[in-house]
Structure 1
Amino acid sequence: MPLALSLPPLSLYIHLPWCVKKCPYCDFNSHQADRFEDEGKLPEEAYLTQLLADLDQDLAFAYDRKLHSIFIGGGTPSLMSAEFYRHLLEKIQEKIPFIDNIEITMEANPGTFEQDKFRAFRKAGINRLSIGIQSFQPHLLKALGRIHGREEAIAAVEKSRIAGFENINIDLMHGLPGQSIEEALDDVQTAIRLNPEHLSWYQLTIEPNTEFYRRPPTLPEDTMLWDIQEEGQATLKEHGYRQYEISANSKIGKQASHNLNYWRFGDYIGIGAGAHGKLTLMDGQIFRTRKTRHPNHYLSTLAEALSIKEAIATADLPFEFMMNRLRLFEEFELSDYNKFCYQPPPDNFIKSCIIAIDKGLICASSWEHNTIKTTEKGQLFLNDLLELFLPI
């Protein structure tokens, strides 16, 4: 079928659901490997086969678009072998061509880092690493249930360079149990010294269905959290990292392509246990997909029964669009609503924007030029801003 020029870029998300250990703050679809597989050995061949069958079910929605980016998340994707990824990426490219400069990211944890293995990952086609460090403080790593220490974290970044990775993200959290301002800023400064291209820095939140939710730790008070955020962002800016999204900072030109496509309301296919996707039909209908969550159920289910598809109602589009778009701090055209939602912005969307301007959450000067940009206040009180776009 010919490509409709209005269709957004297409990305692919691949979920690997296994971890060495479930962290007490984690609400992602992750499962300890040794609980579900004999002797902790991961079923690479079976999972590869099912991933490709899963992808086949969504291929019709790719039309003739090329893949813009691939993100391999989890879980701990680095538990799988390089051969697994070589075969997987080769087969995916046979089904959907890649753009020439495709970004292929894999999440990795320092506790699973082996230099030779990561050199093989790079050779398999993965060209960007997202290393989940979270903190460099030993007692905070212990509180978070992490299986690595400070030295392992530093070594993982250094060894990833030796393995050939030229595009690295470091994941850090702040607002941790018992964390001081000094410890939070030391984490930021240590990460900066490692010179990653991208730094995801975000506050720990207590999510339902986690150990921390069942047994809440004592977290820093709001005033301290504010000071950590203010001083940390100032430090990042001073060292050449630009905050382009709520929790993401990068050097110039090193924003994550995959993240940008998500938040600009682009399309993405999601494959793997618990993976989510967002896709557009040729008639402009937008829907979300989600795959069965438990790895054993995912592996034993016929591919055509893996996915649940739900259309996004027209009344929900203003909130869905802005929930994504406003994560980015960039200015965007009001006409982007037409471009990505395939209809003009409804009256209640325009009214919500005007209310947001009156509240100082959206820049009045941008609105005068038919663009939308959040103010600093709007960035800080994003939830309040998004509530204005909830369906009536």
Structure 2
Amino acid sequence: MRKTSLALAVAASTLGLSQVAFADLVGDTKVSLEARNFYFNRDFREGTGQSKSEEWAQGFILRMNSGFTEGTVGFGADAIGMYGFKLDSGDGTAGSGLLVPDRSGGSQDNYSGLAVAAKAKVSKTTLRVGQMQFKNQAIGSSDGRLLPQIFRGGNLVSQEIEGLTLDAGYLDEVNNRNSQDYEDMTLNTYSFSGIKFKGLNQSNEFIFAGGNYKLTKELTAGYYYSNLEDMYKQHSFNLVHVLPLGEKQSLKTDLRYARSTDDGQSNVDNKAFGAMVTYALSGHSFGLGYQQMDGDTGFAYIGGTDPFLVNYVQIGNFAAKDEKSWQARYDFNFASIGIPGLTFMTRYLTGDNIDRGTGVSDGREWERNSELMYVFQEGALKNLGVRWRNATMRNNFSRNIDENRLIVSYTLPLM
């Protein structure tokens, strides 16, 4: 911590900041180090080609979020330092997404990255410029492997009006979760998405603008417009209502609708509707979801990101052309019976009516996920998390998959 404070002090002196301004900058700074150990195993149950993807890796993620200097306009900086290295991979089992691919079809021994963003704040409005993660209706940086996906650009977030959050951004490059280089963004393609291109599938401009407004204590509405240059334009709507039903009971309704159209170099044409209703009772949660795709293509989103879909799960997105899918989900928080830190989730999804082309039967698929997680609450292992994620996916148009992920993570607050 002393070294961190010293470094910030030198930076503040260099910038000519006053002692009061520096105190605010340092006093509100948060620094943490996450160690993430990740084992990934995906078995392909039939067919030709690679029979298994299996890798084991260790990653470290250092996060620093500074405070702001004092004054009408406050200045600060955020940073994410990342380093990952291989523990086990080979014999044709690479390709898990944990590590950077090499030219021989295997994986590189290690990789690293640094994301730095300068920020300025006026009242309750903050501008960030640099490299950062995003999580909103228009774009969701993926953090489902060893190291997170990072985008380069700018982001403006304003909360001047109570209950209203306005959000806008401009992005030009992405550093994917199994890469150490920034590159152009792409439009995601997947089985029977129906998406085609007139030229190259790449773009160096993505813009979004929107926000969320808390209409009442129980009801929140959201809207975002986004555009991946030359690829697609999208209007995304979201409505979330939480109805209290009594002591330790509630009913949550999450409605989502998105309209996607082409932007000159693709044939994107999609209407995506999704709904998830969840009944919570003490530590139990019971959910039922429905998702439907209409139009000439499936859902459009940036490659490698997490799409804003209720039926986007561990392996599949259930967003193929004309697909209709259902989800049943159950969660249990063991804190309700005196075991804090232990949680369990299981869900089953089934989709059909997928357009596979003229003269071919409709596509069908199903997926089952289970997840067990425990975070130590006290003692020498406090903040150590152990998570096991299991998935089974079957369909009539591609290879069947059995998958297991074991993730051990520990977050150490440094400041």
- What TM-score, normalized by structure 1, do the two folds share? 0.29
Q: Say which structure is richer in strand.
A: 2
**TM norm structure 2:** 0.28
Higher relative contact order (CA 8 A, sep 6+): 1
